[in-house]
Amino acid sequence: MKDLSIVIPLYNEEESVDALCEEVRAAADRLNLDYEALLVDDGSTDRTPEKLRQVCGRDPRFRALRFRRNYGQTAALQAGFDQARGKVVITLDGDLQNDPADFGLLLRTLDEGYDVVCGWRRDRQDSLSRRVPSVAANWLIGALTGIRLHDNGCTLKAYRAGVVKRARLYAEMHRFMAPMMSLSGSRCKEVVVNHRARRFGRSKYGFSRIWKVALDLLAVRMLLGFTTRPAKWFAVMAVPFFFAMMLALAASVYVHFGVAADEKYPLVFPAVTILCAFAFAHLTIVGVFSELVVRMGDFKETEAALASGDHLP
């Protein structure tokens, strides 16, 4: 078990690797903690893997993971979280724009009793083509989750291991980690961090990312809502069947005792009534049992957290 794990995803950053690792080593050494650095190569096609082997050969505190192909930043972060052995996990980009000197600020803020500390690049040193999509994405994430942060896209964050180890990420979900954890009860704080202009290469992001973010965000919002309150979702699906049942029942009564009291009439309205009643009852029962399953899972998770001490700052 380490005091700190530093997870760094990289993709075609051969020019940045040496300077990045030197800065990370210098900043981590000043903390006087037992740390490790996990360098996750996301299927780079340049000399990044070779550079990482050299770094890990010089310092055993640096470990490298390599994907066979490019899976994206979210998958790289998830791999780092799975391999991390630290009580605290810090993440940052591998392009030298995040400043490792902010490690101390993140850890001090985490010690104030928070579970997640997010960096805010208030003076962002990026082009307009990157800042505009970021502003739009941050507004959209805040609008749909209710958790408003200035900079969801900043990779420079610190997490308690007990929180981040329970995360399961896919697609572009690394952008929603703080809102998701806040909705799950984690205590989050945002702090202003230093941001620097890109020195090597070019950005892998642009306007096209906003559509992926929007689609992933909608999926995450639905998943979060369903897993926390499944009965509400089943109730939403059951209500139309209830009204359809009442309308069909009223039509059956009207036809039977009204216009066709002395005549034979088709059984379509009674059949629709029975089918809608069955669908309404089925969805209601499934919703109730789903709510019970979720509540039992929450109870067991609370017991586990109390037993392990994850509830303590």
Q: Which residues pair with 117 in a beta bridge?
A: 158, 189
Q: DSSP for 89-116, please give it.
A: EEE--SSS-B-GGGHHHHHHHHTTT-SE
pLDDT of residue 40: 95
Question: Angle CA(36)–CA(115)–CA(166) in degrees, nearest 5?
Answer: 70
pLDDT in tens, 111-144: 999 999 999 998 887 777 777 777 877 787 777 7
Quick one: average pLDDT of 79-87? 93
Query: What strands lie across the sheet with 2-10, from one edge to the other?
Result: 62-66, 35-41, 2-10, 86-91, 157-160, 116-120, 188-192
Q: From CA 220, how far away is CA 213, in angstroms rounded?
A: 10
Residue owning tokens 């981040």: 164
pLDDT of residue 227: 62
pLDDT of residue 268: 76
Q: Which amino acid is at 302?
A: T
Handedness of CA 87, 93, 94, 100 (dihedral sign): negative
Q: Which residues pair with 4 in a beta bridge?
A: 35, 88
| Residue among 82, 176, 109, 104 at smallest CA distance from 313 | 109
pLDDT in tens, 168-214: 776 667 777 887 777 667 889 999 999 988 877 666 555 556 666 66
pLDDT of residue 100: 94
Model confidence, pTM? 0.70
Long-range Cβ pairs for the range 232-240 (8 Å, 24+):
232/287, 233/287, 234/283, 234/284, 234/286, 234/287, 234/290, 235/283, 235/284, 235/287, 237/283, 238/279, 238/280, 238/283, 238/284, 238/287
